[in-house]
Chains A and B, each alone.
Chain A
Amino acid sequence: MGELSETALRAEALESLLVEKGLLSESEIDQTIEFYNERVGPMNGARMVARAWVDPSFRQRLLADSTAAVAEFEFVGGEVQKLVVVENTDTVHNMVVCTLCSCYPWAVLGLPPKWYKDPAYRSRSVREPRAVLTEFGVELPAGREVRVWDSSAEVRYMVLPQRPAGTEGKSESELAELVSRDSMIGVAVL
């Protein structure tokens, strides 16, 4: 039996034991999965970014106390009880990683993509961020500083990307549609 199907068997066995012990039900597990599929995702972070672009006082609040600012939206999904939003500028480009596991601000970005959790990204984003960015298709102007933020149990980070040129006159919801998940991790620019 392949290694992964052995793990599938193990997960199934664990679930059956836990359900038998009355610790949880199969439908609770179903509902949790459905919740993260349906109600949690990067459209939340995109809305926050768009608001920061159009509303300077919100932008200020977002950068000064991101935890309080995200609470204004009442997003569900968790892992933003301590959030810090870092802004990209003409002089600084930010990237986010969790070097030790997979910490990620679920309520604003959904669940992390596979590559974010891979050992290669976890170690190389800190050791050689510019090389990683190049692989993601991001070439920064020479002289722009790259800052890498390590999300952890204590704090989760999210990037506030720069507003693209030529978007004056777009509505907040149109702007939100321009914001990619990867730009809020810091491996894409808009």
Chain B
Amino acid sequence: MADDLELPAELAPPMANGEVLFEAPWQGRAFGMARALAEAEVFSWDDFRRHLIRVIGEWDREAERLNASGGEYEYYQHFLEALEGVLAEVGLLDDQDLAARVAAFRMRPHGHDH
């Protein structure tokens, strides 16, 4: 496994304590957005956490119902969903606006995603 990490320094993902802080850039963006918004007091971190607990709880209950092993768990998917939830709660995000933006981005030619 160590050989997989032998990337030139400028390409290597951010390492903390020998581990990757974020597995993909979008996860860092999601975390950065949530923290920056909380620091700007758009919402409190406790408000965000309440949504995170709700989203994760829904996943846990569904996994238990399906007797699933938990292998499909993607923390930052739930994190992003929680962020959308708290933003909607404070009236700063409209589902339709987000859906429209996602659709528009999906239509972009290749080379835009990162």
| Interfacial residues, chain A to chain B (CB-CB below 8 A) | 1, 3-5, 7-18, 21, 23-24, 28-33, 36-37, 41-42, 78-79, 100-103, 110-111, 113-114, 117-120, 123, 153, 181
Main secondary structure of the interface of A (DSSP, over half): helix
Please state if B32 and A4 are interface contacts (CB–CB under 8 Å). Answer: no
Task: Produce 1/0 per residue, B21-53, CB < 8 A to A.
Answer: 111111111111101110110100110011011
Please state if A15 and B29 are interface contacts (CB–CB under 8 Å). Answer: yes
Please state if A18 and B24 are interface contacts (CB–CB under 8 Å). Answer: no
The CB with the most chain B CB atoms within 10 A, among A5, A24, A101, A153, is that of: A101
Please state if B16 and A110 are interface contacts (CB–CB under 8 Å). Answer: yes
| Interfacial residues, chain B to chain A (CB-CB below 8 A) | 14, 16-17, 19, 21-33, 35-37, 39-40, 42, 45-46, 49-50, 52-53, 56-57, 59-60, 63, 70, 73-77, 80, 83-84, 87, 92-93, 97-98, 101-102, 104-106, 113
Please state if B17 and A21 are interface contacts (CB–CB under 8 Å). Answer: no
- Chain B's closest residue to A30 (CB) is B32
Partner among B14, B83, B84 whose Cβ is within 8 Å of the Cβ of A37: B14
Q: Are A32 and B21 CB-contacts (below 8 A) given A11-B80, A103-B49, A118-B73?
A: no
Partner among A10, A111, A181 whose Cβ is within 8 Å of the Cβ of B21: A111
- Chain A's closest residue to B73 (CB) is A119
For the A-B complex with A3-B77, A4-B77, A101-B49 known, give 19 more contacts whose Cβ atoms are closer than 8 Å: A1-B106, A3-B74, A7-B26, A9-B102, A10-B102, A11-B27, A11-B29, A13-B105, A14-B93, A14-B98, A17-B97, A18-B87, A18-B92, A23-B42, A28-B40, A32-B32, A37-B14, A100-B57, A118-B75
Number of A-B contacts (CB under 8 A): 134
Bound CA span A32–B22, Å: 13
Bound CA span A9–B103, Å: 9
Please state if B33 and A29 are interface contacts (CB–CB under 8 Å). Answer: yes
Chain A residues with Cβ below 8 Å from B97 are 17
Question: What would 20 A/B residue contacts be, using CB atoms closer than 8 Å?
Answer: A8-B113, A9-B105, A10-B80, A10-B98, A11-B29, A11-B33, A12-B105, A28-B32, A29-B32, A31-B36, A36-B21, A36-B35, A78-B45, A103-B49, A110-B16, A110-B17, A111-B16, A113-B17, A119-B73, A181-B17
